[in-house]
Chains A and B, each alone.
Chain A
């Protein structure tokens, strides 16, 4: 059992915590933890630049967005925390058992698989690939970022007096 396996087990545990916990802030923290450990796995597998982007964007920026949305929307008093937790437990108690059962079932699969590779030839640096061969992806990213900016401007604005 090497380091990557241990971190993968921790990732599944953190994701489970994010699903099971009642408080949304704890779920956000668990999600950031999942992202950070996923960045560790990506770095160990050799995807260094993607790991840095994952750590800074998914563990940082998305957590900030979640925390601000939670602070803007949560008005429930803390005293009904226990009743909410009971109603959540009713819906979520099979999840850990299902995950353990599926994990045990998947651990018995060891059949060799054959996968066809799409392109022959070597692989270059990620910057070369991104800027030279995947320019359409970059164009799409720019368009989606602009669409996101306009979406934020439309959606986060305060409602006017007319209500529209």
Chain B
């Protein structure tokens, strides 16, 4: 079963791609660990937005919302665990710069 997607899909798709590029650039062009986490958050936001758009356009909003709630829960756990790792690295190296985190032992 295939459906014709309305023209508004391309509007949402354009904003999805813009958010995705923003998050990717934020992750790639920085050396700060916290800033990488912020870039990851922006990427997650774009994916959440596009899941909702997919549910809206295909008429399956309930399934999309269930997926989005799962994504949000996992996002929170990822952020909290990453924040703990960043704090641990900061205590070991006294810096948030990834170029200084070379001692992976212990």
Contact = CB atoms under 8 A, between A and B. Distances in A.
A binds B: yes
A152 B3 contact: no
A145 B25 contact: no
Interface in A6-40: 8-9, 11-12, 15-16, 18-19, 24, 27-28, 31, 34-35, 38
A112 B5 contact: yes
Contacts of B67: 137
A53 to B, nearest CB: 5
B19 to A, nearest CB: 6
The size bracket of the interface on B is: 35 or more
A61 B87 CA distance: 18
Given A12-B18, A62-B79, A38 B45 contact: yes
| B-side interface mostly | helix
B47 to A, nearest CB: 11
Contact of A31 (B11, B38, B65, B73): B38
A34 to B, nearest CB: 6
Contacts of A151: 77, 80-81, 84
Contact of B63 (A18, A114, A123): A123
B58 A117 contact: yes
A160 interface: no
A53 B72 contact: yes
Given A47-B56, A125-B62, 4 more contacts: A34-B42, A106-B10, A141-B70, A152-B84
The 4 nearest A-B residue pairs measured at CB: A155-B84, A148-B77, A106-B14, A19-B26
